[in-house]
Amino acid sequence: MITNIPTADELRLVSLRLFFKAWADTANIITEWAEYGEWATESQQEDEADSPAGWKQYIAAAQSDLQAIFTLIQQSQEIGLKASICEVSPFLLLKRTDVRPTEGEQNVWDFTDFPTLDASELIRVHNMFCSTTISKEFQFKYDEIRRGRNKISHLGIYRKSLEPLDIIDILQLHYSELYPGRRWMEDRLHFAALGKWVDFQFDSDFNERTGLFNELWHLIPELTDDQFKRLMGHERNEKRFVCHECGYDAGLGNAEPYVTDVPTAYLVSEDRVRCVICDVEYPVKHVTSCPVTECGCEWQSAQEGHIGLCMECGWAPEEWQESKRGQRDI
Ligand SMILES: [Zn+2]
Ligand SMILES: [Zn+2]
């Protein structure tokens, strides 16, 4: 008999952990530049500052980080494909069976001692046995990444320059191909919470939702229109609204980003918005115009706990009046 047989869920969990590690590291490279790039290029000559030169220098210096991300992605893709094959039968993953039994036992073998299929074989086996087929587009990317990863791992030399936004493209395609039926935002929150400190309680306002808001705040403006649509589920030019529930849960309000910096909801009908993070629809009420001067938003929350709050600037009309009065008194 064979012991230690992996399950599809177990392998998929490993693949997703690697995926979100790669995502977080890539997002970090983009958002750090968005946050500090301008400040870092201040001392450069006028025509260099704010030009692509600074970004190019930054990305050139980030190549070893990006290569490490590349190898994480390859590992995640390999294990993700193995998870789908394992769903049909874990034994399809075995390459050979000429393996010694477990030490001290007779007729007992450990699954993890067996050589498993080569990475280059996985898509062929997947498409033969699984009910879904891997697209040609992903197949092409997968092979390219696998070859690149081999160069990085075996020689440490990879001459192609890696761009973070290209990696976001790869990761978005990867997620839709390898984990169909899952919801990205929910997984992002879940895997962000599974760090080294998962079993510890902190008395802090920071949670995985705060982390996600921080990430989206600087990442969203850098994404292409296609990447935005894949991430947020609607077109970039569609009007976006605040999710008061998510903002409250993330503890936003005392410092940047404010909930209004990262609107995550959009209209789904005349009187409802849906938030892409919590995936909940909330009632809204149409008004002539937000009473707060520069906002002009025509929607207020009709959700219990947030009634009357503007869906764009987040203010409650009476609080705004109050703050105006306060300013006059000073
Ligand atoms: Zn929400
Ligand atoms: Zn407003």
What's the token pair of residue 278?
Answer: 């919590």
Clarify whether residues 178 and 259 are in a common domain. no
Number of domains the chain contains: 2
Burial-class residue 289 by CB neighbours within 10 Å (0-12, 13-18, 19+): exposed
What angle do the packed helices 164-178 and 136-154 form, to 10 degrees?
120
Is the residue at 200 inside a domain? Answer: no
Ligand 2 centroid vs 189 CA: distance in angstroms? 28
What angle do the packed helices 63-88 and 164-178 form, to 10 degrees?
10
d(CA 53, CA 330): 47
For ligand 2, an ion, list residues with CB under 5 A.
290, 292, 295, 297, 310, 312-313
Ligand 2 centroid vs 86 CA: distance in angstroms? 52
Ligand 2 centroid vs 326 CA: distance in angstroms? 19
Ligand 2 centroid vs 236 CA: distance in angstroms? 20
d(CA 261, CA 37): 19
Is the residue at 203 inside a domain? Answer: no
Clarify whether residues 124 and 212 are in a common domain. no
Is the residue at 293 inside a domain? Answer: yes
Ligand 2 centroid vs 313 CA: distance in angstroms? 4
Is the residue at 194 inside a domain? Answer: no
Is the residue at 192 inside a domain? Answer: no
Which is nearest to 99 in space by CA: 116, 87, 82?
Answer: 116
Clarify whether residues 234 and 171 are in a common domain. no
Clarify whether residues 52 and 128 are in a common domain. yes
Clarify whether residues 10 and 95 are in a common domain. yes
Reduced to 3 states, what is the DSSP secondary structure of residue 206? coil
Q: Are 29 and 62 in contact, with CB atoms under 8 Å apart?
A: yes
Task: Give every CB contact of residue 8 below 8 A, 6+ residues apart in sequence.
Answer: 83, 84, 86, 87
Residue holding tokens 């968005």?
34
Ligand located closest to 216 CA: 1
Clarify whether residues 151 and 221 are in a common domain. no
Clarify whether residues 45 and 134 are in a common domain. yes
Digitized pLDDT (tens) for each residue of the chain, 330 residues in all: 999 999 999 999 999 999 999 999 999 999 999 888 878 777 666 555 556 788 899 999 999 999 999 999 999 999 999 999 999 999 999 999 989 999 888 899 999 999 999 999 999 999 999 999 999 999 999 999 999 999 888 888 888 889 999 999 999 999 999 999 999 999 999 998 887 877 887 777 788 999 999 999 999 999 999 999 999 999 999 999 999 999 999 999 888 999 999 999 999 999 999 999 999 999 999 998 887 767 889 999 999 999 999 999 998 877 777 777 777 665
Is the residue at 73 inside a domain? Answer: yes
Reduced to 3 states, what is the DSSP secondary structure of residue 281? strand
pLDDT at 153: 85
pLDDT at 289: 87
pLDDT at 231: 96
Clarify whether residues 173 and 79 are in a common domain. yes
Ligand located closest to 294 CA: 2
Which ranges of the chain does DSSP label H, i.e. alpha helix? 8-40, 52-61, 63-88, 122-129, 136-154, 164-178, 184-192, 208-219, 225-232, 244-249, 317-329
Ligand 1 centroid vs 97 CA: distance in angstroms? 50
Ligand located closest to 249 CA: 1
In sequence order, the β-bridge partners of residue 240 are 266
Ligand 1 centroid vs 80 CA: distance in angstroms? 29
Is the residue at 65 inside a domain? Answer: yes
Q: Which of 144, 167, 182 is the last residue of a domain?
A: 182
Ligand 2 centroid vs 64 CA: distance in angstroms? 45
Clarify whether residues 178 and 216 are in a common domain. no
Q: Which of 164, 182, 200 is the last residue of a domain?
A: 182
Clarify whether residues 177 and 212 are in a common domain. no
pLDDT at 193: 84
Query: Does the pTM of the predicted model rise above 0.85?
Result: yes
d(CA 252, CA 260): 10
Q: Which of 166, 182, 198 is the last residue of a domain?
A: 182
Ligand 1 centroid vs 242 CA: distance in angstroms? 8
Clarify whether residues 93 and 215 are in a common domain. no
Q: Which domain holds residue 274?
A: 208-329
Is the residue at 189 inside a domain? Answer: no
Ligand 2 centroid vs 291 CA: distance in angstroms? 7
Ligand 2 centroid vs 282 CA: distance in angstroms? 17
Ligand 1 centroid vs 313 CA: distance in angstroms? 16
Clarify whether residues 290 and 220 are in a common domain. yes
pLDDT at 103: 83
